[in-house]
Amino acid sequence: MNDGTSSPGTRVLGALTLIGMAVLLAFALVISPADETQEETVRMFYVHVPTALVAFGAFFLTVAASVGYLLRRSEGWDVMAGASAEVGAVLLAATLVSGMLWGRVTWGVYWTWDARLTLTALLFVLVLGYLAVRRLPLERERRSRLAAVVGLLLGPATVACHYATTWWRTLHQGPTITTADAKMDGTMLFTFFLGMVVFGLLYVWLLVHRFRVLWLEHRVEDLGLDEAIAERRREAVGVS
Amino acid sequence: MDVTPRPAPPEVPARRGSGGRGPLMALALVALLAAVGFLLVKQVGSASLYFYNADEAVAKRSQLGDRRFRIQGTYEGTATDVAADTIRFAIVFGGEKVVIEHTGSEPALFQPGTAVVCEGRWSPDGRVFESDRIEVKHSEEYKAENPDRVDPAAP
Amino acid sequence: MTAVLAVLATLADAADAAVAADAAVATEDRGFQWALVLACWVAVLAAVALVAVRSAQRGRRLARQIPEEQRRWM
């Protein structure tokens, strides 16, 4: 039954995610109302904001796992950091694309270099750099150590990106959902929370799968190494 | 039994199959590093002060000269056509009113009462701000549209 | 990495399509809004689906290469 990276657990998670996505689509595109000023374009909020926040969370897990790796030097932490960054990169790409389309119809431009957008681009480039470091042809321990150090950079970059609208003057609007009060009507607010849950589930689901893929990559790598060593031994002993 | 001396086995690379991608990855890293540098300069340079509020732009008028910058304020009154592709309207912020002469198109959400960011420069005589780009700075508040106002064009 | 790049290529295509659609629609009415909203959701979900499928394929290919006892994570 072990023919890939799925297991009973991930199948349940996957089913929940797909059902959740269908419900989210119904709420985002049909049930929730249009906005007073933004009209239908507010429907991009429910994909833009949850993907951004979940991506930020993913990068924090990468930072935490990188710290874990630097302290413990265990393979699990290393693989966890890489898997979380991969899924985070996909979600942040979704944030960028949805944001550009949303910006085009509300601000009037696809892109502008305000602090929030600049720092989001920076964060995205940093994550791609981190993932590139993870593919450098180095000995695994050195590569993991290097990746963990680069992974730490995602921490300040994520924080700066998240608070950019508060710290600097931006075209991008400030946070809608704060602890004090949510500046959003009931059904819209519910749709947003549903979006957070569904994209959160999607993240965990993809994270488990990517963790297993990266783990398998290491095993295949080991296998190649073992074979090479065995071959060398045979060569050294001579043909029997 | 074969006793001829054998050549030493070749060194085993640490990672097989990916050796050819090394230079490519290094190149990608350099490119990404350059991008990081570019974005940092962008952030430190212009992005950290994305716009001047209307009152600040008025106070710094002589200092700004004919430099290109962005100005922010609330669009008040109605816009009037002054030329084929040019409109004139006023923005207000911090008790200062600035007349904008904008050439080009306007975003869909450009309506009286919304905060806008205009990009351009002071006119040589400093009386109007000549803009060629308007961005609508919409708020972070969301309210359900009035259900009585059903738009028949909506699908 | 290749999977991520593939996603980016898909997203870039989607953005190009959106720009093309933008040029075709002269008036920025509700139809235009809906076009962008749907383009946004389709691009995001398609990209995620592509990543998931490619990841599953790669997982299966890798799993076949290693002995059974090394993949007892279930």
Residue ranges of domains in chain A: 12-31+39-168+183-209
- Distance between CA A152 and CA A138 in Å, rounded? 20
Q: What's the pLDDT score for residue C61? A: 92
Higher pLDDT, A47 or A112: A47
Tokens representing A40 are 């239908």
**Closest-CA residue of chain C to A108:** C28
Whether the pLDDT of residue C15 is over 60: the answer is no
Cβ neighbours of residue A132 closer than 8 Å, sequence gap 6 or more? B25, B28, B29, B32, C1
Under a CB-based contact definition with an 8 Å cutoff, are residues A164 and A121 in contact? no
Q: What's the pLDDT score for residue A101? A: 93
Whether the pLDDT of residue A228 is over 60: the answer is yes
Whether the pLDDT of residue A91 is over 60: the answer is yes
- Distance between CA C37 and CA C26 in Å, rounded? 17
Chain B: closest CA distance from residue A166 (Å): 11
Tokens representing A33 are 């109302």
Query: Which chain C positions have a beta carbon within 8 Å of A134's beta carbon?
Result: 1
Under a CB-based contact definition with an 8 Å cutoff, are residues B77 and B97 in contact? no
Q: What's the pLDDT score for residue A225? A: 80
Burial string for B24-56 (b: 16+ CB within 10 Å, else e) reads ebeebbeebeebbeebeebbeeebbebbbbbbb
Closest residue to B47, CB basis, from A35, A118, A173: A118
The CA radius of gyration of chain C, in Å to the nearest whole number, is 19
Whether the pLDDT of residue A53 is over 70: the answer is yes
Q: What's the pLDDT score for residue B18? A: 45
Q: What's the pLDDT score for residue B19? A: 46
Assign a CATH topology to domain B51-136: OB fold (Dihydrolipoamide Acetyltransferase, E2P) (2.40.50)
Q: What's the pLDDT score for residue A39? A: 86
Considering A203-212, A214-223, B45-54, B95-104, the range whose residues carry the highest mean pLDDT is A203-212
Closest residue to C11, CB basis, from A93, A128, A213: A93
Under a CB-based contact definition with an 8 Å cutoff, are residues A27 and A194 in contact? yes
> What pLDDT, in 10s, does the model give residues B10-69?
444 444 444 456 677 778 888 888 888 878 877 766 667 889 999 999 998 888 888 899
Q: Which CATH class is domain A12-31+39-168+183-209?
A: mainly alpha
Give the bridge partners for B118, in sequence order.
B71, B134
Q: Residue A213 and residue C59: Cβ atoms within 8 Å? A: yes
Q: What's the pLDDT score for residue A106? A: 87
Query: Which chain A positions have a beta carbon within 8 Å of C58's beta carbon?
Result: 213
Q: Residue A223 and residue C65: Cβ atoms within 8 Å? A: yes
Q: In the predicted model, what is the mean pLDDT of residues C16-34?
A: 59
Under a CB-based contact definition with an 8 Å cutoff, are residues A153 and B86 in contact? no
Q: What's the pLDDT score for residue A4? A: 83
Q: Judge residue A185's burial from the number of C-beta atoms within 10 Å of its C-beta, 0-12 exposed, 13-18 middle, 19 or more buried.
A: middle
- Distance between CA A67 and CA C12 in Å, rounded? 34
Helix (H) or strand (E) holding C43: helix C30-65
Residue with token string 């609330």: B74
Query: Which chain B positions have a beta carbon within 8 Å of A48's beta carbon?
Result: none
Residue-level length of chain A: 240
ipTM at complex level: 0.86
Write down the pTM of the prediction.
0.81
For chain C positions 5-64, those within 8 Å of chain A (CB to CB) are: 7-8, 11, 14-15, 18-19, 22, 28, 30, 32-34, 36-41, 43-45, 47-48, 51-52, 55-56, 58-60, 62-64
Q: What's the pLDDT score for residue A5? A: 87
> What pLDDT, in 10s, does the model give residues B91-135?
999 989 999 999 988 888 888 888 999 999 999 988 899 999 999
Q: How confident is the model at residue B138 (pLDDT cuts 50, 70, 90)?
A: confident
Query: Which chain C positions have a beta carbon within 8 Å of B151's beta carbon?
Result: 30
Tokens representing A138 are 């180095």
Angle at B113 between CA B107 and CA B118, to 5 degrees: 45
Chain C: closest CA distance from residue B108 (Å): 6
For chain C, the domains span: 2-69
For chain B positions 81-120, those within 8 Å of chain C (CB to CB) are: 107-108
The DSSP-derived string for A119-181 is HHHHHHHHHHHHHHHTTSSS-HHHHHHHHHHHHHTHHHHHHHHHHHHHHSB-SS---SB-SS-
SS3 B81: strand
- Distance between CA B68 and CA A45 in Å, rounded? 32
Amino acid at A141: E
- Distance between CA A145 and CA A123 in Å, rounded? 21
